[in-house]
Structure 1
Amino acid sequence: MLSTLSRLSLPTRRTSVLAVLAALVALLAPAGPARAVAPATPDPFFSYTGSTPLADYAPGAVLNTRTVPYSLAGVPLPLAVRQILFRSTDAQGRPVAAVTSVIKPAFGTTSKVISYQSFYDSLDPEHGPSRSFTGSTQLGGMIGHVETVMMSAFLLQGYAVVISDTQGPTADFAAGPEYGYVTLDSVRASLRDSGTGIAPTAKVGLVGYSGGAIATNWASVLAPSYAPDVNARLVGAAEGGVLVRPAANLDYVDGSQVWAGVIPMAVIGVSRAYGIDLTPYLNDYGLEVYRKMQKASITEVLGAYPGLTWKKMTKPEYAEPSSVPIFVSTVNQLNLGSGPSPTLPMFIGQGTGGELEGTTAHPTLGKGDGVMVAGDVRTLARQYCADGVKVLHREYALSHFTSVALWLPEAIAWLGARFGSAPAPSNCASIAPGNPLTPLAGTP
């Protein structure tokens, strides 16, 4: 199937992508009453047990490695996966042990690497793609397998594909800077480990959609300061379904029929990442959802909380997010609009048909794809353009899920071309104005 996909024309590949996405939707859709699943035994490989303090290692240092067959729900396939435990940094700047999987090139070494950032979006570390590649059968981890098919065009052309557990060892959902640190350090570790089949002089392209776009964008903007060695190797970043300003996104999905459940997911993930306690602001129902969702995957949340709002979860005096000072100060750290611009070319795709997924246009934020705000993405793209970045920006009149069928073929073609000598295209002059990317203002 993979070789067939690689030979298809662009329109046919779009149809094939739709088929893959349909399979994903079928996979994620509830098949009846939820069944209890016995928790998997944690794999000791994913924990650092060495005697040397992690702080004594440089970011990207290799801590442990192994090569295993790629396993689809416990069935080994003829793909070799190199897994690396490496030192990285969490959202609070502390050293952590993170993990990445490198799907090795079929023959010899390669000088071309795709760093693919997964949209596994979960609050459970056991749902990371590295776990699913080694045999996990948990539903939350199955997304990684579909994404491997999405990246098959690169594998068949001899690239190595690096897929990290970008949310870190504690699954800090929506904590953008941590996603970026882990992504950059996974590239460092992959270049340093001789068992990956990657040449030391390899060039790297970044790509990711949705949760993967969080990692891709943050890695792009953090690379010049946090990992200039990696930044020098980056040829471009392709992303779609982009989270720019989480405070605005929470307002946009408030009351959505499909996406409202990401509100408590984000509250848990951000609280966990930054070590803050938001439970004093929640009412009884909010606490019930908060406790229930501690290890939830996006596969369990989509459509499970139709019409949920921030107000329904909080005590009356905290009915507006702006009334919770610690939330305001924390969520503003995740606003890409307040951060630096990247120094590499960007391909940015964004849907505007959010009504297809139960989210109506917002009175002030405007349209989105159901979870991401198109106006925020336009402004971010224009901001990068103003700083000299070559940006190719696309909008699709589709929803978050359905936009992938249009974004993916363009992203693959655009990113593949960045490994060549052709200059990156730009449509900066024609990107329409968007929303002000102002931080969330607190109330006294």
Structure 2
Amino acid sequence: MTVVNDDVRTCEPAAEPWPAPAMAQPVGVDPFFDAPEGFADQPEGTVLRHRDVTVAFLGKVKQRVRATQLLYRTTTMHGAAEVTTTTVVTRASGAEPGAPLVSYQCAIDAIAPETFPSYVLQHGAVTQGTSFPQIEFVFVAAAVARGWTVSIPDHGGQAGRWGVPREPGYMTLDGIRACLRHEPLGLRADTRVGVWGYSGGGLATAWTAEVAPTYAPEINLVAGAMGAPVSDPGSTFVYLNKTLFTGLPTLFIAALAREYPPLRQLLDDHVNEKGRKVFYEDAPNWTPEQAIRAMAHKDLCHHADRPIDQMIELPTLKYIFDEIRPGQQTPSVPMLIVQSTRDQIVPLDDATAHADRYARGGTHVTYVTDDWSDHFSLHFLSAPLLFGWLADRLEGRPVTPAGRSSRKTIMASGAHLARTARLLGVAARVAVGRGL
């Protein structure tokens, strides 16, 4: 790791420019994503290659913004050199001088490269069903409309390592470093930085805030905003079993099995051939929507030699679930967590325990619960609150009081309704491809 006290742009070697392809292509097909020779010798956050791309809402409606993709050097949870990509978006005329940088972590929640933001946000991207990052572009656009620069990293790396600990934070922070070092973006080393994400993107945001003090202390990170973060992946694994959303923990286990050899051994020992095919062959190619359809209401242990309550007591799973639970380190910046009390994906008790872990460690935590939403409706309903709170921190306004606030609905305030109206206006411009 290289810590730079002056303008970090001086650390960037001459990056290799790369023409944008005529049609969007994912990792594994598009040579832009290939790691150049010798990349491991560069510091974390080094821009290795860059290109301008055309981003589009749902892959079809071209957006009148400036979008640049940066391939950069980063590291895995094991400390191995890796490359990944961030898609950086500003107004067509560029960001406002002195404006902050926000890293938005999408809810990728899958392994397949066709689900990564670097692909699905491009014009011409073809997806199987609904793509969460494509829909989340509306929230990115709200930040861009304010004159900010927004980084949208592939925080699972090129292998889609969803659910692993710490690594999403490393990759997000190295994406921020890459933005600060890429001179055409006009950012300085002391640019104020915020991080924001929802659900699986909230989990990546949590890891980013947690590892930032030790991994990237030179970054001027000022706040983190999370909606319904996956606060205890092991608990969520059990919570979603035999529900409509069994496909999500299926994807999760498939990703972890590639990174934890003991987990793969556990599957080999306790799961039959049909079950191993799901985890090893099917799930790595599924989008979240495909996984949900394929696994709806199924029992993850249907092909195992024991029920789930016994499976999770196996030492291998207990160890892994303990390691991947966020909240083991303390963010040094204020954090906002928003959670539905009726969330069907992330248990309320897990989010509450997550907030409590941060508070006990000394983090200034504002924890807001909402009674009238569920996991999916809260994604949109909470965005104005998360965005407004983050804007206040980035623009230097006093932090809101720490502690828990329980509300029937977060919509019950004039300020929130006004922010929602502005977000709807941005969404309307995005839907028809008007400028921001």
TM-score (norm 2): 0.80
- Alignment pair present for 1:90 and 2:90: no
- Alignment pair present for 1:118 and 2:103: no
Q: CA deviation at 1:424?
A: 1.1
Counterpart of 1:137 in structure 2 is 126
Counterpart of 1:381 in structure 2 is 355
- Alignment pair present for 1:263 and 2:249: yes
Q: CA deviation at 1:385?
A: 2.0
CA 242–49 in structure 1, closer or farther in 2 if over 3 Å, else same: same
Q: What is the letter of the counterpart of residue 404 of structure 1?
A: H
Alignment partners' CA distance in 2, 1:141 and 1:93 = 34
Q: CA deviation at 1:75?
A: 5.9
Superposition pairs of residues 219-230 of structure 1, within 5 angstroms: 219-230=208-219
Q: What is the letter of the counterpart of residue 241 of structure 1?
A: A
Q: What is the letter of the counterpart of residue 65 of structure 1?
A: H
Q: CA deviation at 1:108?
A: 4.3
CA 224–313 in structure 1, closer or farther in 2 if over 3 Å, else same: farther
Q: CA RMSD in A?
A: 2.4
Q: What is the letter of the counterpart of residue 84 of structure 1?
A: L
| Residue deviations 1:125-180 (CA, integer Å, cap 9, x gap) | 23211112333212368432221112322111110111011111100122242211
Superposition pairs of residues 239-388 of structure 1, within 5 angstroms: 239-256=226-243, 258-276=244-262, 277=264, 278-280=266-268, 281-290=270-279, 291-316=281-306, 320-337=310-327, 339-353=328-342, 369-388=343-362
Alignment partners' CA distance in 2, 1:81 and 1:144 = 15
Does structure 2 retain, via aligned residues, the 8 Å contact 1:175–1:334?
A: yes
| Residue deviations 1:197-221 (CA, integer Å, cap 9, x gap) | 4344311111000111011000000
Superposition pairs of residues 138-217 of structure 1, within 5 angstroms: 138-139=127-128, 142-217=131-206
Does structure 2 retain, via aligned residues, the 8 Å contact 1:74–1:137?
A: no
CA 220–151 in structure 1, closer or farther in 2 if over 3 Å, else same: same
SS where residue 187 of structure 1 aligns?
helix
CA 383–328 in structure 1, closer or farther in 2 if over 3 Å, else same: closer
Q: Percent identity?
A: 27
Alignment partners' CA distance in 2, 1:216 and 1:96 = 20
5+ residue gaps, structure 1, are 1-37, 354-368, 433-444
Does structure 2 retain, via aligned residues, the 8 Å contact 1:318–1:324?
A: no
Superposition pairs of residues 39-58 of structure 1, within 5 angstroms: 42-50=29-37, 52-54=38-40, 56-58=41-43
SS where residue 91 of structure 2 aligns?
coil
1:65 aligned to 42, 47, 50, which one? Answer: 50
Does structure 1 retain, via aligned residues, the 8 Å contact 2:205–2:226?
A: yes
Q: CA deviation at 1:323?
A: 4.5
Counterpart of 1:417 in structure 2 is 392
Alignment partners' CA distance in 2, 1:317 and 1:153 = 46
Q: CA deviation at 1:384?
A: 1.8
CA 331–250 in structure 1, closer or farther in 2 if over 3 Å, else same: same
